[in-house]
Structure 1
Amino acid sequence: MPGSTGNGAVTRSTLRQQIADALRDEVLGGRLQPGQEFTVKEIAEQYGVSATPVREALVDLSAQGLLEADQHRGFRVPEYSAADYRGMIEARSLIIEGMFIALDAGRQSHQNFEEPRVAAAIAGVRRRGEEAQRAASAGDLTVLIGYDLRFWRELSALFGNPYLTDFLHRLRVQSWVCTVQHLRRLSDLRGCLWSGHTELVDALYARDTDAARVILAAYNDESIGLIERLATR
């Protein structure tokens, strides 16, 4: 819970980040229910802090797609349908296809993924993918989400366009919010969560965008099918 540090007062910006982190965990953990509404005052009282850093934190989360702002009622957790999820996947696919086109263009201009700095970054992305895969195999959704978001943020950063990276991150956050809402219906998630992270990294490192497209197409089809089945329960 946000509060004071060992050596005195916490700055407003620190409180803002702590509150945002705590609420993000609540939403992505499925502990804040879809459609649930709350006000700045309620959250400020819950954490025992002033309204200003709470308002700033809630605005930040709204900008990231984790919450919806309502001018008259405060904030609420968005409710996403299977159709919403399909739209998110389509948007994500368009962005990622742009990344693949950029990679193909780089191949034609003889840019090298084995340049030491880039190779080190790719190794870091692969480690994140390995952790995500372990979490997926264990059915540990909370750990998976954390590593999956880091995986995709670091992977997209390799393409050198921070606007693309930020937009893809926002879409992946929103799609996880939607996914969590539907996966709540399952008691055991083992075998239900995508774990192709390292396979994708290896394909991209080999500059095999055709293989990467096949991997992601299968991932998207499987994910959409799962959410649509759960939405009908």
Structure 2
Amino acid sequence: MTGHTGEAGPDGARPWPGVPRQGVPAAESFPAGRPHPEPGPYDGPGPAAPRRMPRRHSVRAQILDALRTALADGELAPGEVYSAPALAERFGVSPTPVREAMQQLASEGAVETVPNRGFRVARRSARDLAELAEVRALLEIPVLLRLAQGGQPEQWDELRPYAAATVAAAARGDRAGYAEADRAFHQALLTLSGNRQLALVGDALHRRMQGPCGG
């Protein structure tokens, strides 16, 4: 993805930098390895059946994934306002799935809704991140102590692939990949507690910690 190069629109909101030019199908606008709209029921040789239109939730999931990647990479700048219609135009989709993805990010604290303009990337100070890290420690340390006292060896083995994924992402300089692998590791750790609500709270907290720090 490219840097922050989009020009502000008439409402002062900026399109998302690095999104494809207008007219590129949504299925082609995401990097390799990201989910794509579902294929049609037949992909073999010979006459193919008409492909189904991508389901809206599938398009929304792709856009949400791409926006999270841009946040982790710092391509969405803290304090900047981005217009959902401008993003939708560049993605080649309707504004609805873009707004839905942005609303999800707003619920996670990554962006803030700006009436009649779009969404502003939230500013997280060093103090904000330190406080969130302290809350996460309050959730995770009791789980670690419980596992250390009565956990089974195979439970620790379940965490090894997640830890390896974070190391691999860090080694190749993949900030977005590292953020997702780190989130998956901590989610797996809290899942071992057997408390589903604790795992959900921990995941939401971790989402609030992701993204650029500014302000």
Structure-2-length-normalised TM-score = 0.69
Is the 1:37–1:77 contact (alpha carbons within 8 Å) kept by the matching residues of 2?
Answer: yes
Deviations 1:100-156 (A, max 9, x none): 46547xx4xxx5524xxxx2x542321220231243355443332222111111111
Q: Letter of the 1:21 partner, please give it.
A: D
1:85 aligned partner: 129
Distance 2:100 2:173 in 1: 34
Q: Which residue of 2 aligns with 1:54?
A: 98
Equivalent pair of 1:69/1:75 in contact (CA under 8 Å):
yes
1:143 has 2:177 as partner: yes
On the 8 A contact 1:58/1:67 being kept in 2, the answer is yes
Q: CA deviation at 1:60?
A: 1.3
Task: Identify the match of residue 73 of structure 2 among 1, 7, 29.
Answer: 29
The equivalent residue for 1:172 is: 206
Q: Which amino acid aligns with 1:113?
A: Q
User: Hey, what does 1:70 align to over in structure 2?
Assistant: 114
Q: Which moved more, 1:5-14 or 1:85-94?
A: 5-14
Conserved in 2, the CA contact under 8 Å of 1:65 and 1:170? no
Whole-Å separation in 1 of the counterparts to 2:118 and 2:177 = 30
C-alpha change, 1:56 and 1:97, in structure 2 (3 Å) is: same
Describe the superposition over 1:57-116 as per-residue Cα deviations: whole angstroms up to 9, x where unpaired: 111122223222234432111111111111111211211134246547xx4xxx5524xx
Give the aligned residue type for 1:27. Answer: L
The alignment status of 1:113 with 2:137, answered yes or no, reads no
Among candidates 38, 60, 63, match of residue 82 of structure 2: 38
Query: Is residue 63 of structure 2 the alignment partner of residue 19 of structure 1?
Result: yes
Q: In the aligned structure 1, how far is the partner of 2:151 from the partner of 2:170? A: 31
> Does structure 1 retain, via aligned residues, the 8 Å contact 2:72–2:175?
no
Distance 1:123 1:19 in 2: 33
Distance 1:55 1:142, change over 3 A: closer
Is 2:55 the counterpart of 1:2? no
- The size of the alignment, in residue pairs, is 171
Identity %: 30
Q: Does 1:159 align with 2:193?
A: yes
> For the residues of structure 2 that align with 1:125 and 1:41, how far apart are their CA atoms?
41
Q: Which amino acid is 1:2 matched to?
A: A
Is 1:126 equivalent to 2:160 in the alignment?
Answer: yes
Deviation per CA, 1:1-54: give whole Å up to 9, x if none: 734655231011111111111111111111111111112212211211112212
The 2-side partners of 1:100 and 1:135 are apart by: 24
Q: Which blocks of at least 5 consecutive residues in structure 1 are unaligned?
A: 183-230
For residues 112 and 38 of structure 1, what CA distance do their matches in structure 2 show? 47
Greater helix content? 1
Is residue 2:139 matched to residue 1:95?
yes
Rounded to whole Å, the distance in 2 between the matches of 1:162 and 1:17 is: 23
Letter aligned with residue 24 of structure 1: R
> Does the aligned pair in 2 maintain the 1:132–1:148 contact within 8 Å?
yes
